[in-house]
Amino acid sequence: MNPKELKLLMRRVAAGKIAPDEAAERLRTTDSVNLHFARVDTGRESRCGFPEVIFGARKSPKQIAQIAAAILRRTDRLLVTRASEEAFLAVREIAPEAKYYDVARIVAVRRGRAERARRSMVFIVTAGTSDIPVAEEARVTALMFGVRVETAFDCGVAGLHRLIPLIPTIRKARAIIVIAGMEGALASVVGGLVRRPVIAVPTSVGYGASFGGIAPLLTMMNSCAAGVSVVNIDNGFGAGYLAGMIARA
């Protein structure tokens, strides 16, 4: 309930149009649906501009489908990340237009009222081939914000010339997502070449002293280029969400 709605409620109480006890109750129970195993945050879209996203890991297909149903009752967009194919099949039961992106492991629903395509662009660049699933998660997520997405994969700093011809295009983006495992150096290099926010995603690609993504996480955290911020290891969703949010603005 936003400030305006709050004032409105107060006025209706003052006008006797709504009983005071009911108003107090309403202040407490709005904007979520209690499925017992989950409290669906149905106010998320009005607060944050995007409905609640279901983190599919460790949830059963049935749980996912129930939460999905609760969300779709209030909105036209649905995103399930880390979703298995079983989860997709369960969601399709209640939302036939659901689509499964297997590389991204995302189930997505976009209905009529979903955001229009915009002209602003998000660019996603990965250091290696193995980072592609994370990039796909970012791409599908960003698309939900109605923005355009362009991608370039396998542009790691050991062969900088693969990156350089892309710079003019990258510079046209409203936000840039850089995805890298191993040493994660790509984020700093890109950050030094552009005037838009760089969202860095460390990945668990690598072995030995990459420690499941700690190495690129620290690299990106300590970037000598300004304008770079970092999301969790392998968190393509978070990067796509943030980029979509920035590009939509």
Take residue 42 and report the two structure tokens written for it: 């149905």
Q: Please, which residue, 96 or 168, has the CB nearer to a copy of itself?
A: 168
Q: Residue 216 in contact with residue 232, Cβ under 8 Å?
A: no
Q: Please, which residue, 61 or 238, has the CB nearer to a copy of itself?
A: 238
Give least dist CB 73 to a copy of itself, A: 17
Q: Please, which residue, 111 or 158, has the CB nearer to a copy of itself?
A: 158
Give least dist CB 47 to a copy of itself, A: 6
Give least dist CB 201 to a copy of itself, A: 10
| 70: Cα separation from own chain's centroid | 20
CA distances from 229 to 144, 213, 224 (A): 22, 16, 11
Q: Residue 208 in contact with residue 181, Cβ under 8 Å?
A: no
**Cα distance between residue 128 and residue 150, in whole Å:** 16
Q: Residue 180 in contact with residue 202, Cβ under 8 Å?
A: yes
Give least dist CB 106 to a copy of itself, A: 14
Give least dist CB 137 to a copy of itself, A: 12
| 181: Cα separation from own chain's centroid | 19
Q: Please, which residue, 58 or 96, has the CB nearer to a copy of itself?
A: 58
- The DSSP code sequence of 78-140 is EEEES--HHHHHHHHHH-TT-EEETTTTEEEEE-TTSPPP-S-EEEEEESSSTTHHHHHHHHH
Q: Please, which residue, 111 or 159, has the CB nearer to a copy of itself?
A: 159
**Cα distance between residue 182 and residue 213, in whole Å:** 7
**Cα distance between residue 22 and residue 41, in whole Å:** 21
Give least dist CB 228 to a copy of itself, A: 8
Q: Please, which residue, 10 or 97, has the CB nearer to a copy of itself?
A: 10
